[in-house]
Chains A and B, each alone.
Chain A
Amino acid sequence: MNKIGLIIQREYLTRVRKKSFIVMTILGPILMAALMIVPVWMAMNDEDEANILVIDDSFLFTERMTDTENIHFFFPEVGLDSAKSQMVASDDFDAVLYIHKNIMSSPSGIQLIYDKQPGISVIRYIENTIENDIEKFKLAKSGIDQATIESAKTNIRLVTTKLDEVGAESKSNTELSMIVGMFSGILIYMFIFLYGVQVMRGVIEEKTSRIIEVIISSVKPFELMMGKIVGIALVGLTQFLLWIALSTMFVSGGKALIQDHFAKDAPTSIEQAVNSTEQLVPEGEEAVSAELNQEAIDEVFASMQQIDFPIILFSFLFYFLGGYLIYSALFAAVGSAVDNEADSQQFMLPITAPIIFSFVMAQVVINNPESPMSFWLSIIPFTSPIIMMVRIPFGVPYWELGLSMALLIIGFIGTTWLAGRIYRTGILMYGKKISYKELWKWLRYH
C-alpha cells in the first residue's frame, strides 16, 4: 500500500474506532429524531381535558358552544359568583367563561376565569367559536344569509411556475426548495466546522507529541497533511451516512410508535402532525382545507418531480466535500503554526469568518435566490459551498454551477498549496509565538 493510503487508513481507523465517534453516531440521530418527534408528541398530549362553566348574560351563546373531544361546556343557571365558587370547590370544572350582556356592541371584555391554566388550544377554540358566532349574528342582522357568505369565501393558493430560457415551464414549490436548500446548507456548515477543527486538532496532536519528525522523515509533509484531510473527510462522510440511515430508522420507528399509540383517537390528524410539524388545520374550515390539502399535496409531488434530485444529490456531495476541503487545509495550517489549541484562536478568525458569513447570508439568499448578490456569493469559492447549495433547489443554470464548481476546485488547490507551505515550516517550530508576519515569511520559503 502506498504511504498516503497508509496515512488515510490510520486517520480513518483511529477516529472511527473512538468511543466518542460511536457515541456521537448513535446519539446524533436520536437527538435529531427527538427534535422532530417530541414537539409533535407534546403538542398532542397537551390537549388536556377542559370542563368550562359558561355564564352567558347575553343569552346568545347558550347551547351554541359545541363540545369537542377534550373541551366540554356546561351551562349552569346560576350567577357568576356562584359559578366561580362552584369551580373552585369542585375538581370537575376548570374554568368559568363569562360573556357579558352587551357582547354584540362591545365584543371585548369576555372573561375566562380559571383555577387551572387552560391550554392555548382551549383558548383559541373559545375565541374562534365566539368570533364566528358574533360574525354570523352580525351578518344575519344586516340581512346576509349564511349561504351567500359560504359562496363568497375564496381560498387562494399561488401556483408558482418557473419559465426557463428554452421556454419550458416547470412548476416549483418555493417552500420545498427552501427546506431542501437550507437543510443542505446547514449540513455543509456543520461538516466544515466539525471536521475542519478535527484536522486542526490532529495536526496539533502530532506536533505536541513530537511524532511529527519521525513521520516526515518517512513521508513528505504535504502527503501527511493530505492523508489527514482525506482520512478525516471519510470519517465525516461515514458519520453523516450513518446518521441519515439511523435517523430514517428512528424517525420511521418513532412515527409508527406514535401512530400505534394514538390510532384509536385521531389517526388522520396525527399523521398530518407527524408529517409536518405545522399547526393543525383550524376548525371549521376542515371541508375546504381537505380539498385544498389534496391539491397542495399533488402540487408538492409535482414540484418534487420538478426539483432535479440527481443534480441536488450530486451537487450536495460535491459542495459537502469541496467546502470541507477548501477550509480543512487552512485549519491544518493553523494547527501547524501553534503549540496548543488555546493559541489557535487568533488564526481561526479569518477562517471562521467567511463560513459564518455565508451561513448568515444563506437566510438572505434563500429569500432572493436570483439576485446579483446571491449569484456572486455562490460563485466565490469561500462562500459557494453553502450559498450555492441553498440556491440549487430553486434551479441554477448549468453554466453557473459549472463555474462555481471549477472555481471551488481551483480555490481548493490554492488554499492547499498555501497551507502546505505554512504547514511544512510550522510543524517543526516550537515554543515561538507566531505572528501573521511570521506566517507570511514561511509562505515565501522555498
Chain B
Amino acid sequence: MNHPIFRAENVSKAYAGHVAIEDISISVPEGSIFGLLGPNGAGKTTFIRIINQITGPDTGKLWFNGERLEEKHLGLIGYLPEERGLYKKMKVGEQALYLCQLKGLSKKEALSRLKYWFEKFGIQAWWNKKVEELSKGMAQKVQFIVTVLHEPKLLILDEPFSGFDPINTNLIKSEILELKKKGTTIIFSTHNMGSVEELCDHIALINNSRVILEGEVKEVRSRFRTNTYNIDFQGSMMQLSASLGTYGELIEHEPEGDHMDATVRLVNGATTNQLLGNIMRTVEVKGFHEVIPSMNDIFIEAVERYNRENLKP
C-alpha cells in the first residue's frame, strides 16, 4: 500500500445533542481512488467538511501528506460539493478565474490553465456568458474544471456524475482516471455502486456515524464471497440438481436460450473440483465462474447487518 496522503485518526464530531461522526479512522493511499460510501445521513458530508476544514473535529487527528492538516493545505485540496453552485449573475470566465485565484493560483497561471481546459471541453464560447444562461449540465462542467484547475493533490468529489448525461458522465469519468494517472488522489463519495466498482481502489463504508467496512475493493468483495458459483450448461435441470449431491445447493436457475443457467452454493466444505467432477458426469458444462457479490449487495448486506446487530428496534 502506498504511503497515505490523508489519514484520519479517531475523528469525532457532534452537533448539539447529535453525533455526526464517531471515532472515524481511515487512511487514503496516495494515487488511489477512495470510495466514501454510506446511506443518507450517515455522516459523510460532515466528514468531507472536516477534511476541507469547513468545520473542525471535536476530537481526533487529521494528517495530510505526513503533516498535521492545517490551513496551508487548502490549496492542495480540491472539493466538488454535492450541492453545486456558482454566482448566477457572474460571467463564467470571470468567476472561474476568481475561484481559482482563491485556491492560490496567480491570475496569469489560472488564465492559461483555464484556456487549456475550456478548449479541451470545447466550451470557449461560454467565457462571457453569465452562469444563469447556462444549463445545469453546462454549469456542472464549469464547476468540475474549477475544482481540478489548481491541480490538487487530493480531490474530493461528492456525487460528481449527478446531473450529467451519459456522454458527459463518460467524459468526466475519463478525466478522473486521467487525473489518477497523473498521481492525484481522489476521495469519491457516491451512491452509485456501479461506478464504485469501476473506479475505486479502496472504500470505506460509513453507517450511523461509524466506519463499518473498510479496505481494498477487491479484498472487500472477496471477503463477502458466499461460495456461490454460476454454471452455464446444456442438459436438464433435473439432472443437474441430482448431481449436486451433498456438495452444493441450487439457489436459482433459468433457461438461457438453448443453455441452462444455474447458481449454486458450495456447502459442507466442498471444493469446486468436487462439485464440477460430479456435475460434469451428467450435464455438459459450458461455463463456470464464481459469483462475486456486487458493491451494491455488499453495501446493503453490511448496512443491514450492522443495523440488526447494533441498533435496538
B89 within 8 A of A: yes
A213 to B53: give the CA distance in the assembly, Å. 11
Decide if B99 touches A213 in the complex (CB within 8 Å): no
Distance in Å: Cβ of B13 to nearest Cβ of chain A: 11
Nearest neighbor of A438 in chain B, beta-carbon distance:
B16
Proximity string of chain B (63-84) to chain A, C-beta cutoff 8 Å, 1 when within and 0 when not:
0000000010011010101011
Chain A interface residue bracket vs B? 20 to 34
Query: Which residues of chain B are within 8 angstroms of A1 by Cβ–Cβ distance?
Result: 101
A10 to B95: give the CA distance in the assembly, Å. 9
Decide if B83 touches A210 in the complex (CB within 8 Å): yes
Query: Which residues of chain A are within 8 angstroms of B103 by Cβ–Cβ distance?
Result: 218
Query: A residues 368-389 with Cβ under 8 Å of B?
Result: none
Query: A residues 179-216 with Cβ under 8 Å of B?
Result: 205-206, 209-216
Decide if B88 touches A210 in the complex (CB within 8 Å): no
A445 to B83: give the CA distance in the assembly, Å. 24
Extra inter-chain contacts (18) besides given A14-B90, A214-B85, CB under 8 Å: A1-B101, A205-B87, A209-B85, A210-B84, A210-B85, A211-B85, A212-B85, A213-B81, A213-B83, A214-B99, A214-B147, A215-B99, A217-B52, A217-B74, A217-B77, A218-B74, A441-B16, A445-B15
Query: Which residues of chain A are within 8 angstroms of B52 by Cβ–Cβ distance?
Result: 216-217
Decide if B79 touches A209 in the complex (CB within 8 Å): no
Query: Which residues of chain A are within 8 angstroms of B49 by Cβ–Cβ distance?
Result: 428
Query: B residues 95-118 with Cβ under 8 Å of A?
Result: 98-99, 101-103
- A–B Cβ pairs within 8 angstroms, 28 of them: A1-B101, A3-B102, A6-B101, A206-B87, A209-B85, A209-B87, A209-B88, A210-B81, A210-B85, A211-B86, A213-B81, A213-B83, A214-B79, A214-B81, A214-B85, A214-B99, A214-B147, A215-B99, A217-B52, A217-B53, A217-B77, A217-B81, A218-B75, A218-B102, A221-B54, A428-B49, A428-B55, A445-B15
A14 to B55: give the CA distance in the assembly, Å. 29
Decide if A219 touches B102 in the complex (CB within 8 Å): yes
A55 to B71: give the CA distance in the assembly, Å. 94
Decide if B54 touches A213 in the complex (CB within 8 Å): yes
Binding site for B on A (CB under 8 A): 1, 3, 6-7, 10, 14, 205-206, 209-221, 428, 441, 445-446
Instruction: Give me the 7 closest cross-chain CB pairs, A-B, nearest first.
Output: A210-B85, A211-B85, A218-B102, A217-B52, A217-B79, A213-B81, A210-B83
Decide if A215 touches B102 in the complex (CB within 8 Å): yes
Query: Which residues of chain A are within 8 angstroms of B86 by Cβ–Cβ distance?
Result: 209, 211, 214
Query: Which residues of chain B are within 8 angstroms of A213 by Cβ–Cβ distance?
Result: 54, 79, 81, 83, 85
A221 to B102: give the CA distance in the assembly, Å. 13
Query: Which residues of chain B are within 8 angstroms of A209 by Cβ–Cβ distance?
Result: 85-88
A209 to B52: give the CA distance in the assembly, Å. 19
User: Total interface residues on B, using CB and 8 Å?
Assistant: 30
Distance in Å: Cβ of A18 to nearest Cβ of chain B: 8
Decide if A10 touches B98 in the complex (CB within 8 Å): yes
Distance in Å: Cβ of A7 to nearest Cβ of chain B: 8
Decide if A216 touches B54 in the complex (CB within 8 Å): yes
Decide if A6 touches B88 in the complex (CB within 8 Å): no
Query: Which residues of chain A are within 8 angstroms of B85 by Cβ–Cβ distance?
Result: 209-214
Please indicate which of the listed interface residues A1, A14, A218, A219 has the most CB atoms of chain B within 10 Å of its own CB. Answer: A218
Distance in Å: Cβ of B105 to nearest Cβ of chain A: 11
A10 to B74: give the CA distance in the assembly, Å. 20
Query: Which residues of chain B are within 8 angstroms of A206 by Cβ–Cβ distance?
Result: 87
Q: Looking at the complex, which one of A7, A211, A216 makes contact with B87 (CB distance below 8 Å)?
A: A211
Q: Looking at the complex, which one of B15, B55, B77, B102 makes contact with A6 (CB distance below 8 Å)?
A: B102
A217 to B45: give the CA distance in the assembly, Å. 13
Decide if A428 touches B16 in the complex (CB within 8 Å): no
Proximity string of chain B (53-64) to chain A, C-beta cutoff 8 Å, 1 when within and 0 when not:
111100000000
Query: Which residues of chain B are within 8 angstroms of A210 by Cβ–Cβ distance?
Result: 81, 83-85
Nearest neighbor of B83 in chain A, beta-carbon distance:
A210
Given A3-B102, A6-B102, A217-B52, A14 contacting B79 (CB threshold 8 A) = no
Nearest neighbor of B132 in chain A, beta-carbon distance:
A209
Query: Which residues of chain B are within 8 angstroms of A218 by Cβ–Cβ distance?
Result: 74-75, 99, 102-103
A219 to B103: give the CA distance in the assembly, Å. 8
Nearest neighbor of A9 in chain B, beta-carbon distance:
B98
Distance in Å: Cβ of B8 to nearest Cβ of chain A: 17
Query: Which residues of chain B are within 8 angstroms of A220 by Cβ–Cβ distance?
Result: 71
A218 to B103: give the CA distance in the assembly, Å. 6
A1 to B108: give the CA distance in the assembly, Å. 12
Query: Which residues of chain A are within 8 angstroms of B146 by Cβ–Cβ distance?
Result: 214
Distance in Å: Cβ of B248 to nearest Cβ of chain A: 52
Decide if B90 touches A217 in the complex (CB within 8 Å): no
Nearest neighbor of A441 in chain B, beta-carbon distance:
B16
Query: Which residues of chain A are within 8 angstroms of B74 by Cβ–Cβ distance?
Result: 217-218
A218 to B54: give the CA distance in the assembly, Å. 9
Query: Which residues of chain A are within 8 angstroms of B81 by Cβ–Cβ distance?
Result: 210, 213-214, 217
Distance in Å: Cβ of A2 to nearest Cβ of chain B: 10
Query: Which residues of chain B are within 8 angstroms of A215 by Cβ–Cβ distance?
Result: 99, 102
Nearest neighbor of B98 in chain A, beta-carbon distance:
A10
Query: Which residues of chain A are within 8 angstroms of B54 by Cβ–Cβ distance?
Result: 213, 216-217, 221, 428
A221 to B74: give the CA distance in the assembly, Å. 13
A330 to B103: give the CA distance in the assembly, Å. 28
Query: Which residues of chain B are within 8 angstroms of A217 by Cβ–Cβ distance?
Result: 52-54, 74, 77, 79, 81
Distance in Å: Cβ of B307 to nearest Cβ of chain A: 26
Query: Which residues of chain B are within 8 angstroms of A445 by Cβ–Cβ distance?
Result: 15-16
Decide if B98 touches A6 in the complex (CB within 8 Å): yes
Query: Which residues of chain A are within 8 angstroms of B90 by Cβ–Cβ distance?
Result: 14
Query: Which residues of chain B are within 8 angstroms of A14 by Cβ–Cβ distance?
Result: 87, 89-90
Nearest neighbor of A207 in chain B, beta-carbon distance:
B85
